[in-house]
Amino acid sequence: MNIDYRYTKTTVSLINYHFVFCPRYRRKIFIIPNLEQRFKELVKIKCEELKINIIAIECNEDHVHMFVNCLPALSPSDIMHKIKGFTSKLLRTEFAELSKMPNLWTRSYFVSTAGNVCSET
């Protein structure tokens, strides 16, 4: 198994997180045409900005599983806050079905450390 450590000037790390989060009231938003694709694009944009490597993202009708690899400077709460805020604002602007929702995502989420994971697992 290939282990990809992340190197910075002062750290060597291997931090993988598994996140699960849901839309408000567990609405089945991912049945809306093109929403899943756009959501994944937005997550990719934000993760590139934050220097987070996406290992896998899977969207079910009413929740998201996301595996990421990040640097130690980012906490799980920072990651969720930034991704949820960014995607909520843009998706509610771009999709009329979501525009009346005051919040797209719940405030809660599940996070767990994940050992060495790959997109096949």
Q: Which pLDDT does position 102 carry in this prediction? A: 86
The number of angstroms, rounded, from the C-alpha of 105 to the middle of its chain's C-alpha atoms is 12
Structure confidence at residue 4 as a pLDDT band (50, 70, 90): confident
The string of pLDDT tens digits covering residues 85-98 is 999 999 999 999 99
Q: Which pLDDT does position 115 carry in this prediction? A: 73
Let me know if 17 is exposed, middle or buried by CB neighbors in 10 A (0-12, 13-18, 19+).
buried
Whether the predicted pLDDT of 18 surpasses 80: yes
Q: Which pLDDT does position 2 carry in this prediction? A: 60
Q: Which fold has domain 7-113?
A: Alpha-Beta Plaits (3.30.70)
Q: Which pLDDT does position 1 carry in this prediction? A: 47
Query: Cα–Cα distance between 121 and 92 in angstroms, integer?
Result: 32
Structural domain spans, the chain: 7-113
Task: Give this prediction's pTM.
Answer: 0.88
Q: Which pLDDT does position 76 carry in this prediction? A: 97
